[in-house]
Amino acid sequence: MDKFRLALSADFQRADGSPAYPSFDLGPLNDNSAIDWSYVAVENGVIAADAIAGFDALILLGGQFTAESFPGDGRLAMIARFGVGYDNVDVAACDANNVALVITPDGVRRPVAVSIITLMLALTGKLFVKDRLTRMGPDGWAKRSDHMGVGVAGLTLGSVGIGNIGAEMFRLAKPLDMRFVAHDPYTDPAVAQELGVELVGLAELFSQADVITVNCPSNAQTVGLVSEDLLNRMKPTAYFINTARGPIVDQGALTTLLAERRIAGAGLDVFLEEPSSADDPLFALDNVIVTPHSLCWTDQCFAGIGAADVKAVTDLMAGKAPVGIVNKTIADDAAWQTKCESYRGRFG
Tell me the domain boundaries of the chain: 4-103+298-347, 107-290
Catalytic residues: 245, 274, 293
**Paired residues of 37 in beta bridges:** 6
Q: Report, as an integer, the average pLDDT of 283-289.
A: 97
For a pLDDT cut of 90, what percent of the chain falls above it?
97
For 4-103+298-347, CATH number out of 3.40.50.720, 3.30.420.40, 3.40.309.10, 3.30.365.10 equals 3.40.50.720
Tens digits of per-residue pLDDT, 208-258?
Answer: 999 999 999 999 999 999 999 999 999 999 999 999 999 999 999 999 999
Same topology for domains 4-103+298-347 and 107-290, yes or no?
A: yes
The confidence score (pLDDT) of residue 49 equals 96
The confidence score (pLDDT) of residue 348 equals 81
Q: Report, as an integer, the average pLDDT of 318-341.
A: 95
Tens digits of per-residue pLDDT, 125-134?
Answer: 999 999 999 9
> For the CA atoms of 58, 214, 228, 180, what is the dihedral angle to 10 degrees?
160
Cα(97)–Cα(345) distance, integer angstroms: 22
Tens digits of per-residue pLDDT, 183-199?
Answer: 999 999 999 999 999 99
Is 84's pLDDT higher than 80? yes
Q: Report, as an integer, the average pLDDT of 253-266.
A: 98
For 107-290, CATH number out of 3.40.190.150, 3.30.1340.30, 2.60.120.10, 3.40.50.720 equals 3.40.50.720
The confidence score (pLDDT) of residue 83 equals 92
For a pLDDT cut of 70, what percent of the chain falls above it?
100
The confidence score (pLDDT) of residue 132 equals 96
Q: Report, as an integer, the average pLDDT of 263-287.
A: 97
Q: Report, as an integer, the average pLDDT of 79-84.
A: 95
More confident residue, 1 or 43: 43
Q: Mean pLDDT score of the chain, rounded to an integer?
A: 96
The confidence score (pLDDT) of residue 1 equals 54
Is 46's pLDDT higher than 60? yes
